[in-house]
Amino acid sequence: MKTADDLKRAAGFAAVDRYVRTGMCIGLGTGSTAHWAIVRTGERVAAGEQIAAVATSGVTERLCRELGIPLVLFGDREIDVAIDGADEVAADFSLTKGGGGALFREKAVAIAAGTFVVIVTPEKLVDRLGAFPTPVEVVPYSLPYVRRRIAATFGVEPAVRGGAASPFVTDNGNPILDCAFGPLSDPAARDAELRAIHGVVATGLFWGLTDAVIVADPEGVRELAR
Ligand code: 5RP
């Protein structure tokens, strides 16, 4: 009987083995599934392959250092392939991300990468995004303003991640508003509407970025066709 962690490991290992070649610079995501892509990259570096990485969070950076994976600053090299998990994957390959709070850097790396590969277990596959609350990263000064604008515009009360008394803070020093919109018919439009609110840094809605989705379930590892 395979555990949830076995499946995440299978997805992470498959992505690295299918998409990463020696000589590449890769983007490494954040979270419990991306963890296994980092571990597999570390094994291949230890075996002598020349693979450099851009990390999408402090957690990922620390694991890369522990495993001896050479790190590159974002923007210093072209990123050939980025590999990351997701909180939701829709049929059109749009995503909700940011459950781990790394959405800004994850999106930066996904945009910059030549190929963006998403690794998930089957419960992440959805018809429409939106059951998972959309994370919205906000400049601290603007938090009350953005919260009110989102409530007034979309009729949902955003939750400050971690609670208003001691908010969770991203690697960029910003709080996150989790917005329970429900099913989103047009994630790209919602992303644009949110980013038009002054003070929004980034949203966890990723659209038009995903090139491949690798799913690990108890029957094996498969790659989704769009
Ligand atoms: C972090 C993310 C993660 O990729 C997402 O939350 C999925 O994490 P996990 O693989 O642990 O379920 O977007 O910001």
- The helix (run of H) or strand (run of E) holding residue 113 is none
Q: What is the pLDDT of residues 36-46, one digit of tens each?
A: 999 999 999 99
pLDDT digits (tens, 9 = 90+) for 158-168: 999 999 999 99
- Please list the residue range(s) of the chain that carry CATH number 3.30.70.260: 134-203
CB 82 within 8 A of CB 107: no
Please identify, in words, the CATH class of the domain defined by 4-125+207-217.
Answer: alpha beta
Q: Mutate which of 33, 117, 120, 169 to test ligand 1's pocket (most atoms within 8 Å of Cβ)?
A: 33
- Using CB atoms within 10 A of its CB, is residue 47 exposed (0-12), middle (13-18) or buried (19+)? exposed
Alpha helix locations (H) across the chain?
Answer: 4-19, 34-46, 58-67, 103-112, 143-154, 187-195
Active-site residue flag, 106: yes
Model confidence at 28: pLDDT above 80: yes
According to the CATH classification, is domain 134-203 in 3.30.360.10? no
- Strand 176-179 with 159-160, pairing: antiparallel
**Is the confidence at residue 226, as pLDDT, over 80?**
no
210 has pLDDT over 80: yes
Which residue's CA is minimally distant from atom 1 of ligand 1? 100
In degrees and rounded to multiples of 5, residue 116 shows phi and psi of: -115, 115
- The residue whose CA has the least distance to atom 8 of ligand 1 is 31
pLDDT at 1: 85
Average pLDDT of the chain to the nearest whole number: 98
Distance, in Å, from the CA atom of 18 to the CA atom of 64, rounded to the nearest integer, reads: 20
**In the chain, ranges of CATH 3.40.50.1360 domains:** 4-125+207-217
Integer Cα distance of 133 and 178 in angstroms? 5
Please tell me which residue, 226 or 53, carries the higher pLDDT value.
53
State the Cα–Cα distance between residues 170 and 97, nearest whole angstrom.
14
Instruction: Give me 176's structure tokens.
Output: 């996150």
Task: Give kind and range of the element (H or E) at residue 199.
Answer: none
Q: pTM of the predicted model, to two decimals? A: 0.97
Could you give the angle at which helices 187-195 and 143-154 cross, rounded to 10 degrees? 140
**Amino acid letter, residue 90:** A
DSSP string, 22-61: TT-EEEE--STTHHHHHHHHHHHHHTT---EEEESSHHHH
Q: How do residues 63-106 score in pLDDT, each as one tens digit?
A: 999 999 999 999 999 999 999 999 999 999 999 999 999 999 99
Task: Ligand 1, residue 124: give the atom nearest the CA.
Answer: 12
For residue 189, the CA-to-ligand 1 centroid distance in Å is 23
Pocket residues: Cβ below 6 A from ligand 1: 29-34, 84-87, 97-103, 106
pLDDT tens for 115-145 read 999 999 999 999 999 999 999 999 999 999 9
